[in-house]
Amino acid sequence: MSREAALELKELQPSHADHAVPDIEPTLPRSTMQLEVRQSHAIIVILQLTAISFLTSITTGLMTVSVPRVASDLHIQPQLYYWPLSVYGLTSGSCLLIAGAVADVVGSRPIFLTGCFLLACFVLACSLARTAIQLIMFRAMQGIAVSLCLPTSVGILTNAVPSGKRRNVGFASMGLGQPLGFSLGLVLGGTFVDTIGWRAGWYMCAGAIMFCFVVGIWSIPADSLAQAPSLARLKADIDWIGAIIATACLALLSYALVMISTASSYIRHPSVIALLTVSLILIPVFVLWVGRQERLQRPALIPNSLWRNLSFTSMCIMVLLSYAVMQTMELFCGLFWQEVQLLSPLQASIRFVPSMILAAILNLVTGLIVHKFPVIYLVLISSALGALAPLLMAINSPKWPYWYAAFPAQIFEPLSPDVIFTVGILLVSERFPDRTQALAGAVFNTVGQLGQAIGLALIGVVSDSVTQNSKYADKATPDALLVGYRAGFWTCTGWMVLTCFIGAFGLRKSGKVGLKRD
């Protein structure tokens, strides 16, 4: 596909000569004009975007299952035990909004390709890390790099693929990449830890991401921008103050939540209390600021008027809760198998395979049928069935075979997050103008990242508190840990029931999403 700007023919103007000639002036397409690509090229674009989501999620799965071995090899201190895992979400979640806002001005393509290149570099750097500080810093930079890719993927897809079934499948495929990649990362990580070493998976991912970067230079289509990018537009068209306030709020809140998820006792630490207080104060400050921007008809990062749309607000809350439960379920299931049933990392990883397979099938099916059914039915059915997953794990006995409760729990676990991802990203993208689709992707991914951080922190506090107050003298025994994990699973069940109620109330007038528009 040509990357040249579209050409518009001006009306014939009289010249000093006896005849007139057409004056051809290069201009850029309107913001609402889509540079639609051929079907075969569209498939390549979708595969490219899905591959990046898939590969970054593999690294998270690799790190999740190999934390004990990595901590041993790099001599990571106990208070930093989970930082290589948590710092990635902290930095990526904090930078998404700014990345999305900038991409809507300069174009999604250059930001996405820059993110791909940096991502490959920092994933490779993680594989070469020799100290705890090196690994934590490289994981933090990996989070910043992926924040350039996630929101721009939405902008690229909406720019290249017209609304309708093909775009729905594209969004569903992007959603497929996350659970599928994470689950495969768990399996590969468990295999590599027990065989050739944890670094092998990171080498593979770095090479694959660099390959995607090279392919992307050819495959990612040009952006359709109303005006050419410039420093003046970067200054005038972005709500920088709003972006800084939002980023500071998310960074402080995420850091506090990471500290709490590391050890629940940190919730009483003065520095954590101060961070939580400042981050909560910044929320009304942000609301007041963007309200002022709207009144003055200036760029507002996330206009307050969006939140008055009940379906938009409800979907964001549901995404937050669903992602919180998903992240907690994946962590607590792994801990249940390893710390309570005393299985090896490889044995625990294999138990995630049914969830991985169903997630792959479910995302594709959702993309094909999402435009045929009202949103409320899809969301309520998937959330109600998804609530069965933590419920089954809450009543699961360590003496039971895998097939009694854990297996059906893995079948039900991906239903809610996978369906809500596709429905949610379609609904959110439809609520944002065509010119701010990267920002729409940033908002959606920020809500998801925040949900994961909140889930790990709050449910971690619940689990640890119940374990510490249990009747067992040794709090590290499987029996003591089990009562804490069960409390976490019951909390997840309650959150999924709450998700159902929010969907029933907030989406009752939403109708269908993903319909083809003329």
231-266 pLDDT, tens digit each: 777 787 888 999 999 999 988 988 888 788 777 777
What is the number of alpha carbons within 13 Å of residue 390 lying toward its C-beta? Answer: 29
Structural domain contains residue 4: no
Q: Which candidate, 326, 424, 386, places its Cα nearest to that of 57? A: 326
Q: What's the pLDDT at 322?
A: 92
First CA to last CA across the chain, in angstroms? 22
* 20 is a domain residue: no
115-119, 426-430, 499-503: lowest mean pLDDT where? 426-430
Given a contact cutoff of 8 angstroms between Cβ atoms, the answer to whether 315 and 424 are in contact is yes
DSSP state of 220: S
Alpha carbon distance 174, 164 (integer Å) = 16
Name the band, by pLDDT with cuts 50, 70 and 90, for residue 456. confident
Summarize pLDDT for 203-232 with one digit per residue, the tens.
999 999 999 999 999 888 887 765 666 677
Span 338-392, pLDDT tens digits: 889 988 877 888 888 888 888 888 888 888 888 888 888 999 999 999 999 999 9
**Looking at residues 469-476, what average pLDDT do you find?**
85
Tokens found for residue 39: 């079907």
CA–CA dist 153, 146 (Å, integer): 11
Residue 14 within a domain? no
149-181 residue pLDDT tens: 988 998 888 888 877 778 888 888 887 787 788
Residue with tokens 């991912």: 205
Q: Does a structural domain hold residue 516?
A: no
Which one is predicted more confidently, 118 or 417?
118
Q: Which letter does DSSP use for residue 339 in this model?
A: I
Contact call for residues 140 and 87 (beta carbons, < 8 A): yes
Please check whether residue 44 lies inside any domain of the structure: yes
Percent helix, strand and coil across the chain, each rounded to 5? 75, 0, 25
Task: Determine, yes or no, domain membership for 440.
Answer: yes
Coil, strand or helix at 263: coil
Model-level pTM? 0.81
Report d(CA 474, CA 477) in Å as an integer.
Answer: 6
The whole-number pLDDT of residue 23 equals 38
pLDDT at 273: 92
Q: Around Cβ 178, how many Cβ atoms within 10 Å?
A: 24
Beta-bridge mates of residue 7: 26
pLDDT digits (tens, 9 = 90+) for 309-334: 888 889 899 999 998 998 889 889 98
494 vs 17, residue with greater confidence? 494
Distance, in Å, from the CA atom of 404 to the CA atom of 49, rounded to the nearest integer, reads 37
Q: State how many domains the chain has.
A: 1
**Is residue 455 one of the residues assigned to a domain?**
yes
Which helix (H) or strand (E) is 9 found in, with range?
strand 7-9
Strand 24-26 with 7-9, pairing = antiparallel
Assign residue 107 the CATH number of its domain. 1.20.1250.20
Q: How far apart are CA 157 and CA 40, in angstroms?
A: 14
Q: What range defines the domain where residue 336 resides?
A: 39-506
483/250 Cα distance (integer angstroms) = 32
Answer yes or no: is 332 within a domain: yes
